[in-house]
Amino acid sequence: MPRHLEIGLLRTFVMLLEEQSVTRVARRLNRTQPAVSLQLRRLEDAAGQPLFEPDRRRLRLTRHGERLLPYALSMLKMHDEACSRLACEEVAGRVTLGCPDLYAAFLLPRTLASFQNSYPGVEVTVRCALSEPLSHDMSNGLVDVALATSMPGVRPTLGSSRVLRKEALVWLGAEGGKAFTHSPLPLAMLPEGNHLYRNYAIQALNRTGREWRIACVSESIAGLVAMTLADAAVLVLAESVKVDGLRRLDASDGLPPLPGVDLVLWCRQPGASAAADHLAAHIAHYIGSGAGAHR
């Protein structure tokens, strides 16, 4: 009979699939690489089947691993929600969460809904702004926790910072649209300044010699998306953002590849507020682990 599937081993299994690297998982868990490999062997022993293909240079699931994955994700979700629910009555207070409206609209809704369900005693106020203003807001005590884009020289003057995950950037255009064929290429962009999405897009176009023009400038993602849906421009968003009516554009459409960005979590005073600490941990789990993408 198979032995019990331990939660800790299942968490390592899911992390290995997400990170595609024993080294990165070891870093996340603050363990050695041999210790992570041992955890995987213990899980395979308990399952009674190999979970990954023999070639460990690229971690690919066996059919038994594919069968286990949805159960592992469900068990981890239920385990974490149970732990949160047991602790939720002890946590109360107010927290101000800062983030760009792109993340507020597309990355955080399910995470915040889950947090409010688990911690009904915590009142969360969301403050939307671009990453650089958010860093000043946190330095001035206006924001407790922030989900932001990592940028050179942009960070609050106090508190902690951790990278949650890397986000690929992609070009998007209207489904069936032709804006991407126009010359110069019409762009829907954030305002000038220290904005990586805009900077990377323009740098990539300049490197390839593609002519461009700014067709729309807005700090609101809604305005940029509206122009793109109208086939009046193309825009750059994180790959994980899905918008009905938009499709990804790539080299076959004449658009150059783009570098990725890092999502970071800033905490103004770790340990000073249980409510803020729990919100930060919740975001780190659902955004950093990619758990939301599997739900």
Alpha helices in 98-172 (DSSP H): 101-106, 109-118, 131-139
Q: Which CATH fold would you assign to the domain 169-259?
A: D-Maltodextrin-Binding Protein; domain 2 (3.40.190)
- Residue 19: what pLDDT? 83
- CB neighbour class for 111 (10 Å; exposed up to 12, middle 13-18, buried from 19): buried
Structural domain boundaries in the chain: 7-86, 91-163+263-294, 169-259
- Residue 54: what pLDDT? 84
CATH class of 7-86: mainly alpha
d(CA 213, CA 140): 36
Q: What are the tens digits of pLDDT across the range 18-69?
A: 888 888 888 888 788 899 889 999 999 898 889 988 876 678 899 999 999 9
Q: Which CATH fold would you assign to the domain 91-163+263-294?
A: D-Maltodextrin-Binding Protein; domain 2 (3.40.190)
- Asked if residue 263 lies in contact with residue 149, where contact means CB atoms within 8 angstroms, the answer is yes
Give the residue ranges of the chain where pLDDT is below 50. 1, 290-295
- Residue 294: what pLDDT? 30
Nearest alpha-carbon partner for 260 in 167, 150, 131: 167
169-259 matches 91-163+263-294 in CATH topology: yes
**How does strand 261-267 pair with strand 160-167?**
antiparallel
Q: Which residues of 263-278 are buried (b: 16+ CB within 10 A; e: fewer)?
A: bbbbbbeeeebbbbbb
- Residue 289: what pLDDT? 54
Ramachandran quadrant class, 55 (left: phi over 0; alpha: psi -120 to 50; beta: rest): beta
d(CA 182, CA 276): 47
